[in-house]
C-alpha cells in the first residue's frame, strides 16, 4: 500500500476544492480502511461548500458521504476482511448505547457523527470508518450505482416506509429529481398507485417511465385526477417549497400522511382546522438507518430500483460541484477514483 493518497480539500467557501497529497489514515480497533472506488456528490456537500450550511469543524476538510470502495486493512476486533466492498454513508457512527440508540433511533443518536461533516469524508482515495457502520455492497451492484443509494436512495426509502403504504394506496410525490425518482420506485414496490408532481415536463416523463400511474405539473388537472382517485393516502415532499406543503392539504384523503423531506428555509403555515378536519398526520423524515441501507442494497441487487448516475473523474470534482450547483446534472453525479 502506498503511504500517501490524494484527497480533495474544502479550504474556503466557494473556492475550488484543492486536491492534495496526504497520509493514508490507519484503522484503529473496530475500524476498517477502505480504498475508494467512487463517491457521489450530494447537494449537502454543495451547501457546505457555498457556506449555506456551516461545517462544525475547521477547514481544510474532506467532504463526501456517498463513498464505495474495498476494504484494504482492518483494525483489531473486526470480522470484515480485506477485499470486501463496502459503502460509507452520511451517518459515520452512532454510539449504540444512548437512549435513542437503545430505542432503535440511531439516526437521532446524540453522539453520532456525520461523514465529511464531523470527520473527514470520502472525497479521498482512502477513508477509515467504523466496521459496524459500513454497508455491505452486493457483488451484483456497480460501485457507481451504489453510491447515491447510500444517501439519496436510503433517504427516499425511509420516507416511503413512514408513509404506511399498502397495495392500492394513492401516493403523491412532489419533486421528481433524484430523491423523488427513488421514491416513485420504492412506493411502487409497496404496491402504491403513484402520482408525480413537478414543474419540469421532462421529469414528468421520467416519472411515468419509472412506473408512476400519472404525472402532472401542480394545478387543477392534478387536483382533479387525484380527487377522482378518492384523494391521496400519502403525500411525500422532496420539493423545497412551502407551497407544496399547502398543496398537500388540497389533495389529501381523510387521515392522509404527509412526509416532509425537503428543507426549504421559508416557514410552513397551516390552520389547526385543516389538520383536524381530515385527521392529517405530518411526519419529518431524514436519512435512514443501517437496516434501511441494507434493504435498499438488496432491492437494488434484485434489480428493483435503478439509479440514474453520471460518472466523472475524481480530478474533475470541482466541475461536478459546479454542475450540481447550476442544476446542470440530469441524474446523480459520481466521481471515480
Q: Give the interface with Zn ion as residue ranges (CB under 5 A).
A: 42, 44, 94-95, 98, 101, 109, 111, 151
Rounded Cα distance, 245 and 284, in Å = 12
Q: What residue 291 binds from a second copy, Zn ion, none (CB within 5 to 8 A, per partner kind)? A: a second copy
Q: How far is the CB of 196 from a second copy (least distance, A)?
A: 17
- CA separation for the pair 77, 24 (Å, rounded): 21
Contacts of 227 (CB under 8 A, 6+ apart): 251
Q: Which residues contact 308 (CB under 8 A, 6 or more apart)?
A: 178, 181, 206, 330, 331, 332
115 binds, among a second copy, Zn ion, none (CB under 5 to 8 A by kind): none
Nearer to Zn ion, 67 or 218 (CB): 67
Single out the residue of 17, 67, 61 nearest to residue 39, CA to CA.
67
For 158, other C-beta atoms within 10 Å of its C-beta total 23
Shortest Cβ 49–a second copy spacing (Å):
19
To the nearest whole angstrom, how small is the minimum distance from the Cβ of residue 155 to a second copy? 10
Q: Which is closer to a second copy, CB of 199 or CB of 286?
A: 286
Rank residues 22 and 164 by Cβ distance to a second copy and give the closer one: 164
Q: Are 91 and 116 in contact (CB under 8 A)?
A: no
Q: Which residue, 115 or 135, has its beta carbon nearer to a second copy?
A: 135
If the CB atoms of residues 272 and 326 are measured against a second copy, the closer one turns out to be: 272
Alpha-carbon gap, residue 212 to 62, rounded angstroms: 38
* Closest CB 19 distance from a second copy, rounded Å: 32
Q: Which does 325 bind (CB under 5 to 8 A by kind): Zn ion, a second copy, none?
A: none
17 binds, among Zn ion, a second copy, none (CB under 5 to 8 A by kind): none
> Within 89-177, where are the H helices?
99-102, 143-148, 154-161
Cβ within 8 Å of residue 303, ≥6 positions away:
none
Distance CA 6, CA 75 (A): 22
Q: Closer to a second copy at the Cβ: 23 or 304?
A: 304
Binding at 302: pick from a second copy, Zn ion, none (beta carbon under 5-8 Å per type)? a second copy
DSSP-assigned letter for residue 124: B
Chain residues in the site for a second copy (CB under 8 A):
29, 96-97, 99-100, 102-105, 107-108, 131-132, 161, 166-168, 186, 189-191, 193, 230, 254-255, 260-265, 267-286, 289-291, 294-295, 298-299, 302, 304
Q: ω before 60 within 30° of 0 (cis)?
A: yes
Least distance in Å: CB of 261 to a second copy? 7
Nearer to a second copy, 200 or 302 (CB): 302
Contact of 260 with 163, CB cutoff 8 Å: no
Amino acid at each position: 500500500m502506498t503511504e500517501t493518497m490524494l484527497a480533495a480539500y474544502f479550504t474556503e467557501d466557494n473556492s475550488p476544492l484543492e486536491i492534495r497529497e496526504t497520509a493514508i489514515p490507519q484503522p484503529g480497533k473496530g475500524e476498517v480502511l477502505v480504498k475508494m472506488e467512487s463517491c457521489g456528490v450530494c447537494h449537502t456537500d454543495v451547501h457546505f461548500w457555498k457556506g449555506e450550511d456551516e461545517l462544525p469543524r475547521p477547514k481544510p476538510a474532506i467532504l463526501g458521504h456517498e463513498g464505495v470502495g474495498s476494504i484494504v486493512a482492518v483494525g483489531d476486533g473486526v470480522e470484515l476482511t480485506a477485499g470486501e466492498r463496502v459503502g460509507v454513508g452520511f451517518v459515520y457512527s452512532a454510539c449504540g448505547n444512548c437512549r435513542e440508540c437503545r430505542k432503535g433511533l440511531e439516526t437521532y443518536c446524540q453522539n453520532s457523527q456525520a461523514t465529511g461533516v464531523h470527520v473527514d469524508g470520502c472525497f479521498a482515495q482512502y477513508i477509515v470508518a467504523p466496521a459496524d457502520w459500513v454497508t455491505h455492497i452486493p457483488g451484483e451492484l456497480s460501485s457507481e450505482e451504489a453510491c447515491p443509494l447510500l444517501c439519496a436512495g436510503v433517504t427516499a426509502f425511509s420516507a416511503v416506509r413512514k408513509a404506511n403504504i399498502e397495495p392500492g394506496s394513492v401516493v403523491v410525490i412532489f419533486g421528481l429529481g433524484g430523491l423523488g425518482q427513488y421514491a416513485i420506485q420504492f412506493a411502487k414496490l409497496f404496491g402504491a398507485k403513484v402520482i408525480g408532481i413537478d414543474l419540469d415536463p421532462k421529469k414528468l416523463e421520467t416519472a411515468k417511465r419509472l412506473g408512476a400511474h400519472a404525472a402532472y405539473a401542480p394545478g387543477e388537472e392534478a387536483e382533479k385526477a387525484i380527487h377522482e382517485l378518492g384523494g391521496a393516502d400519502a403525500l411525500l415532499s422532496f420539493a423545497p417549497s412551502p407551497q407544496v406543503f399547502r398543496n398537500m392539504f388540497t389533495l389529501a384523503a381523510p387521515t392522509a400522511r404527509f412526509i416532509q423531506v425537503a428543507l426549504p428555509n421559508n416557514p410552513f403555515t397551516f390552520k389547526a382546522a385543516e389538520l383536524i378536519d381530515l385527521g392529517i398526520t405530518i411526519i419529518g423524515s431524514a436519512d435512514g438507518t443501517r437496516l434501511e441501507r441494507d434493504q435498499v442494497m438488496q432491492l437494488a441487487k434484485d434489480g428493483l430500483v435503478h439509479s440514474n448516475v453520471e460518472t466523472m473523474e475524481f480530478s474533475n470534482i470541482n466541475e461536478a460541484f459546479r454542475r450540481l450547483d447550476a442544476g446542470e446534472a440530469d441524474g446523480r453525479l459520481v466521481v471515480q477514483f
